[in-house]
Amino acid sequence: MNSFAKTYRFSRVFAPISTVLLASAATFAWVDEWKSGIEWPTPPIVDAGSQGGAPADAIVLFDGTNLSEFEGGDQWEIKDGYAVARNNGIRSKQSFGDCQLHLEFATPEKVEGQGQGRGNSGVYLMGRYELQILDSYENETYVDGQCGSIYKQQPPMVNASRKPGEWQSYDIIFTAPRFDEGGGLAKPAYVTVLHNGVVIHNHYELQGSTSYIEAPKYTRHAEKEPFSLQFHGNRVRFRNIWVRENIHPLVGKQPDDATPGEATPTDMTDEPNNE
């Protein structure tokens, strides 16, 4: 083999390899990874519980045995692990402000009445902001009064209702309103709601209390208030009611000598996963 052929073969073999090596070197070159510098506390571990159960840090208000956590709960029927509304509304003995509230409900399987008269109940957050419960499966009514509405303020984005008699769920993330010292509204209430796992309100700003006879309005009240479940003449069933109060973001310690957004040079080999 002459020298030209040797050189040709060498370049044929090694040129692609060197290209790959160069490309790799470019990929793993020293770069400046951005880090906030905030010292975050470690998020607490919460056992999410089994399917249909409550998370470990939840305040369980009804596990199917009794309604002793509710004023007026002795008036409702307890049967086969659920409660049936009758006689009067019930009100939680504990008060809540910002919270996550989970409950399951079922409107009567036997369809009677129509519109607002069919499977009517409701969750009154802080005793005054109603998330409507209604049999809205093929049952027409005014849309800001159908199941999932913030009563007479905001219809649900979609109608995720199940058939009469089937169990349904509400997962409510509620931010209580704040009032200033003079009693004026400092910050409105917000609510996010999932109905049967489907989002129907996304950080909705409440306009005030919900009422059948008057427009929404805010009236100063305590930071925490009981919530109530409505009895509207229909035997709506409930089960698995729990509340979590730890719904606030973690707060990290800001770095003393670096402003957020400042890039910090870091060797990528320390933490190769930079997703």
> Min. distance of Cβ 232 from Mg ion in angstroms?
5
Q: Which stretch binds Mg ion (CB under 5 A): 19-27, 48-56, 117-125, 204-212?
A: 117-125
Alpha helix locations (H) across 128-179?
A: none
| Contact present, 128 and 208 (Cβ < 8 Å) | no
Number of residues that bind Mg ion (CB under 5 A): 3
Angle at 146 between CA 224 and CA 53, to 5 degrees: 55
> Min. distance of Cβ 131 from Mg ion in angstroms?
9
Q: Which of residues 194-233 bind Mg ion (CB under 5 A)?
A: 230
Question: What Å distances lie between residue 102 and 79, 98, 239, 254, CA to CA?
Answer: 20, 13, 10, 34
Closer of 194 and 229 to Mg ion (Cβ): 229
> Min. distance of Cβ 120 from Mg ion in angstroms?
5
- 145 makes contact with Mg ion (CB under 5 A): no
Tokens of 18: 């060197």
Q: Which stretch binds Mg ion (CB under 5 A): 57-65, 119-127, 170-178, 243-251?
A: 119-127
Coil, strand or helix at 154? strand
| Contact present, 92 and 61 (Cβ < 8 Å) | yes
Helix then strand then coil, % of the chain, to nearest 5: 10, 30, 60
> Min. distance of Cβ 44 from Mg ion in angstroms?
36
Question: What Å distances lie between residue 184 and 60, 129, 207, 210, 230, CA to CA?
Answer: 33, 18, 14, 18, 28
Closer of 122 and 244 to Mg ion (Cβ): 122
Q: Strands, E, within the chain: which ranges?
A: 59-62, 70-71, 77-79, 82-84, 90-92, 99-106, 121-125, 129-133, 168-175, 178-179, 185-187, 190-195, 198-205, 228-229, 237-244
> Min. distance of Cβ 198 from Mg ion in angstroms?
20
- 122 makes contact with Mg ion (CB under 5 A): yes
| Contact present, 176 and 97 (Cβ < 8 Å) | yes
Closer of 58 and 168 to Mg ion (Cβ): 168
Closer of 120 and 175 to Mg ion (Cβ): 120
- 156 makes contact with Mg ion (CB under 5 A): no
Closer of 100 and 230 to Mg ion (Cβ): 230
> Binding mask 48-87 vs Mg ion (x if CB under 5 A, - otherwise)?
----------------------------------------
Closer of 54 and 137 to Mg ion (Cβ): 137
Closer of 175 and 230 to Mg ion (Cβ): 230
- Amino acid identity of residue 70, one-letter, is F
Q: Where do contacts with Mg ion occur on this chain (CB under 5 A)?
A: 120, 122, 230
